């Protein structure tokens, strides 16, 4: 069976960044764009150049520094927008301009309210047709690769949508996107739009039809796949499904649905699926949006089995409860969730997966300790297991530094100052250090750096709230790097300064253990290691 190629148009850096609170720095965007290139997406929508100088710079730098995918810049159907997009892509061989205008009556009446767009709805519709045509032609005078989107196509009168699309194709659009901007459509309805366009737009076969679905009803992925079944050959999506409101179609879910069920779709993507989880983690760290454990494909529980009956089945034959391999999407294979429902089988195969050998005579003691711990805790994590096994087998600990005390003073009109007491566990010595910083966290980190004597870069700091209200916990994720290797520390506390300090010490412990004894190191994850190690590619 031969499969059509479905282009993956990643809009994490544009629509994804429109998610409230997801703003990223230019260097974070560049790092993500490089990983999207390794993931082998076909197109990266890098931003909306006219909207701000930072957006312009991000598109320009990504277009010039990231090789592989087509780099796309968004523009309204306004001459200034198209010019800005063209300028950001200047000198780039395969740049795309993506121009869009609203087409639904609801949008027309609200956004084109002014009579300069026409007095009646019919007048406004005519104006939109003209604006679309002029913008596409303008963009075509800059680049041969032009995408047109009929914003809110999902709620647009189908007859008018056909007219708009015919107009855009006549003006030179090479890709036509049919967005379900408000996430209103259900799959059969969305598929109908593609069928209609293919039947009624005379030249639809000469362009690539594209899906762009929002997740307001939780149907973004289902709608995108329905679009593919109805002839779409480009899917617009974001890593982890981030985006406006409830988000966009999740790239990893679309890709794996097409991959696992390719016979059903007769279509496939060129995505390097093993990088899906590392790239998901990278986006999560950059945006501070954590990935829910039950998230399909990339969630921490996506390949985990806790019930003894499931664990036994999976250990015998993975197909019993898994429809794809964890490794295929860059997850760890040994995801047997250990808790009070787990048995010896699960425990010892997990330890084996962690590379921890337990002698026969130590097994019973270890198992009893595990059961006692599992009774107290909801879940027994790898960290707990390593500690149990370390005690049972007498292996050395990866902990190199212990934060014994921390005092922070901060307030209006005074520079934040932190004092820490750190024990160096190998030598048993302690060091007390204090430092000033621009903020309390910067002061703590400076004091810890002095007390540990560690030299490294702070690559990322992300904080998010877990729970609600004033007593919600802050979860801090810190990424430190040295000589091309990266280590993460995560900690939660109701005191965000404490969580900041603990996560930092955890990351430094990993780094220090790596420097002194690689065996005890927990890398951020193979994929992430490789992701971060990838050298910048010049165009």
Identify which range of 64-72, 173-181, 299-307, 417-425 contacts ligand KIV by CB under 6 A.
173-181
When CB distances are held under 5 to 8 angstroms depending on the partner's kind, the choice from ligand KIV, Zn ion, none that residue 10 binds is none
Name the residue nearer to ligand KIV (CB basis): 214 or 400: 214
When CB distances are held under 5 to 8 angstroms depending on the partner's kind, the choice from ligand KIV, Zn ion, none that residue 502 binds is none
> Which of the residues 70 through 99 are near ligand KIV (CB under 6 A)?
none
DSSP summary character for residue 397: P
**Is residue 100 near ligand KIV by the rule CB under 6 A?**
yes
**Is residue 156 near ligand KIV by the rule CB under 6 A?**
no
Q: x-or-dash pattern for ligand KIV, window 207-226, by CB under 6 A?
A: -----x-x------------
Name the residue nearer to ligand KIV (CB basis): 239 or 392: 239
**Nearest distance from C-beta of residue 49 to Zn ion, angstroms:** 17
**Is residue 149 near ligand KIV by the rule CB under 6 A?**
yes
Name the residue nearer to ligand KIV (CB basis): 180 or 399: 180
**Count of residues that bind Zn ion according to CB under 5 A:** 1
Identify which range of 13-21, 91-99, 198-206, 517-525 contacts Zn ion by CB under 5 A.
13-21
CA dihedral 262, 214, 477, 43 (to 10 degrees): 60
Name the residue nearer to ligand KIV (CB basis): 234 or 454: 234
Q: Classify residue 382 as exposed, middle or buried by CB count within 10 Å of its CB (0-12, 13-18, 19+).
A: middle
The torsion angles phi and psi of 10, rounded to 5 degrees, stand at -90, 125
**Is residue 45 near Zn ion by the rule CB under 5 A?**
no
**Is residue 247 near ligand KIV by the rule CB under 6 A?**
no
**Nearest distance from C-beta of residue 51 to Zn ion, angstroms:** 14
**Nearest distance from C-beta of residue 181 to Zn ion, angstroms:** 6
Nearest 5°: CA angle at 247, between 245 and 249?
155
Q: How far apart are CA 439 and CA 416, in angstroms?
A: 6
Name the residue nearer to ligand KIV (CB basis): 217 or 410: 217
Please state the length of the chain: 539
**Is residue 215 near Zn ion by the rule CB under 5 A?**
no
**Count of residues that bind ligand KIV according to CB under 6 A:** 9
**Is residue 187 near ligand KIV by the rule CB under 6 A?**
no
Q: How far apart are CA 389 and CA 367, in angstroms?
A: 10
DSSP element (H, E) containing 234: strand 234-237
- The correct pick among 104, 143, 167, 181 for binding ligand KIV (CB under 6 A) is 181
**Nearest distance from C-beta of residue 532 to Zn ion, angstroms:** 29
**Is residue 15 near Zn ion by the rule CB under 5 A?**
yes
CB of 11 closer than 8 Å to CB of 244: no
**Nearest distance from C-beta of residue 149 to ligand KIV, angstroms:** 4
When CB distances are held under 5 to 8 angstroms depending on the partner's kind, the choice from Zn ion, ligand KIV, none that residue 151 binds is ligand KIV
DSSP element (H, E) containing 158: helix 158-171
Q: How far apart are CA 66 and CA 62, in angstroms?
A: 5
At 413 the three-state DSSP class reads coil
> Which is it for strands 414-424 and 234-237: parallel, antiparallel or unpaired?
unpaired
- The correct pick among 10, 81, 151, 512 for binding ligand KIV (CB under 6 A) is 151
When CB distances are held under 5 to 8 angstroms depending on the partner's kind, the choice from Zn ion, ligand KIV, none that residue 149 binds is ligand KIV
When CB distances are held under 5 to 8 angstroms depending on the partner's kind, the choice from Zn ion, ligand KIV, none that residue 100 binds is ligand KIV
Please list, in sequence order, all residues whose beta carbon lies within 8 angstroms of the beta carbon of residue 107, skipping any fewer than 6 positions away: 151, 152
Name the residue nearer to Zn ion (CB basis): 15 or 475: 15
Name the residue nearer to ligand KIV (CB basis): 14 or 281: 14
Identify which range of 156-164, 177-185, 413-421, 461-469 contacts ligand KIV by CB under 6 A.
177-185
Q: How far apart are CA 377 and CA 490, in angstroms?
A: 19
Distances in Å between the Cα of 353 and the Cα atoms of 308, 317, 334, 348, 524 are 18, 16, 6, 9, 17
**Nearest distance from C-beta of residue 189 to ligand KIV, angstroms:** 16
Supply the angle between the helices 26-39 and 276-287 in degrees, to the nearest 10.
170
**Is residue 143 near ligand KIV by the rule CB under 6 A?**
no
CB of 354 closer than 8 Å to CB of 385: yes
- Quickly list DSSP for 446-496: HHHHHHHT---EEEEEEEEEESSSTTPEEEEEEEEEETTEEEEEEEEESSH
Please list, in sequence order, all residues whose beta carbon lies within 8 angstroms of the beta carbon of residue 193, skipping any fewer than 6 positions away: 153, 154, 158, 161, 178, 185, 230
Q: How far apart are CA 288 and CA 25, in angstroms?
A: 12
Applying CB under 5 A, the residues found at the interface with Zn ion are 15
Applying CB under 6 A, the residues found at the interface with ligand KIV are 15, 100, 149, 151, 177, 179, 181, 212, 214
């Amino acid at each position: 069976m031969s499969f059509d190629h479905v282009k993956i148009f990643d809009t994490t850096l544009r629509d994804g960044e429109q998610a409230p609170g997801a703003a990223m720095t230019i260097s974070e965007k560049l790092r993500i764009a490089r990983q999207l290139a390794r993931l082998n997406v076909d197109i990266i929508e890098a931003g909306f150049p006219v909207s701000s100088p930072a957006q312009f710079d991000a598109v320009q730098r990504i277009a010039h520094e990231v090789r592989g995918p087509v780099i796309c810049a968004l523009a309204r159907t306004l001459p200034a927008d198209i010019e800005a997009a063209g300028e950001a892509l200047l000198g780039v061989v395969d740049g795309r301009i993506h121009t869009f205008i609203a087409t639904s009556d609801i949008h027309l009446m609200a956004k084109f309210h002014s009579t300069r767009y026409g007095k009646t709805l019919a007048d406004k519709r005519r104006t939109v047709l003209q604006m679309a045509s002029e913008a596409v032609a303008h963009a075509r005078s800059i680049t041969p690769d032009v995408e047109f989107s009929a914003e809110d196509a999902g709620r647009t009168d189908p007859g008018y949508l056909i007219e708009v699309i015919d107009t855009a194709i006549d003006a030179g659009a090479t890709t036509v996107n049919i967005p379900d901007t408000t996430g209103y459509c259900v799959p059969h309805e969305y598929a109908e739009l593609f069928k209609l366009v293919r039947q009624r737009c005379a030249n639809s076969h000469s362009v690539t039809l594209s899906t762009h679905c929002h997740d307001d009803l939780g149907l973004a992925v289902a709608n995108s796949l329905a679009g593919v079944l109805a002839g779409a050959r480009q899917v617009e999506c974001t890593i982890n499904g981030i985006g406006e409101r409830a988000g966009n179609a999740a790239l990893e879910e679309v890709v794996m649905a097409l991959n696992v069920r390719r016979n059903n779709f007769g279509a496939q993507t060129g995505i390097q699926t093993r990088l899906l989880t590392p790239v998901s983690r990278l986006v999560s760290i950059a945006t501070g949006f954590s990935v829910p454990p039950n998230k399909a494909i990339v969630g921490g529980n996506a390949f985990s089995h806790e019930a003894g009956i499931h664990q036994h089945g999976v250990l015998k034959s993975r197909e019993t409860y898994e429809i794809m391999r964890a490794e295929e999407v860059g997850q760890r294979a040994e995801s047997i969730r250990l808790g009070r429902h787990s048995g010896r089988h699960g425990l010892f195969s997990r330890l084996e997966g962690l590379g921890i050998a337990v002698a026969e005579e130590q097994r019973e003691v270890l198992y009893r300790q595990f059961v006692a711990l599992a009774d107290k805790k909801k879940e027994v994590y790898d960290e707990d297991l390593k500690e149990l096994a370390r005690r049972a087998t007498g292996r050395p600990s990866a902990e190199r530094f212990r934060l014994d005390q921390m005092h922070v003073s901060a307030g209006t009109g005074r520079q934040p100052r932190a004092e820490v007491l750190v024990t160096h566990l190998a030598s048993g010595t302690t060091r007390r250090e204090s430092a000033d910083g621009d903020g309390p966290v910067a002061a703590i980190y400076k004091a810890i750096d002095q007390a540990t004597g560690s030299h490294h870069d702070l690559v990322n700091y992300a904080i998010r709230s877990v729970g609600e209200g004033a007593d919600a916990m802050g979860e801090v994720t810190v990424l430190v790097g040295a000589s091309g290797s990266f280590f993460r520390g995560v900690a939660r506390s109701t005191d965000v300064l404490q969580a900041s300090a603990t996560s930092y010490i955890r990351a430094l412990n990993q780094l220090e253990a790596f420097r002194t004894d690689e065996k005890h190191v927990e890398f951020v994850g193979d994929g992430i290691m490789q992701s971060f190690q990838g050298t910048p590619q010049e165009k």
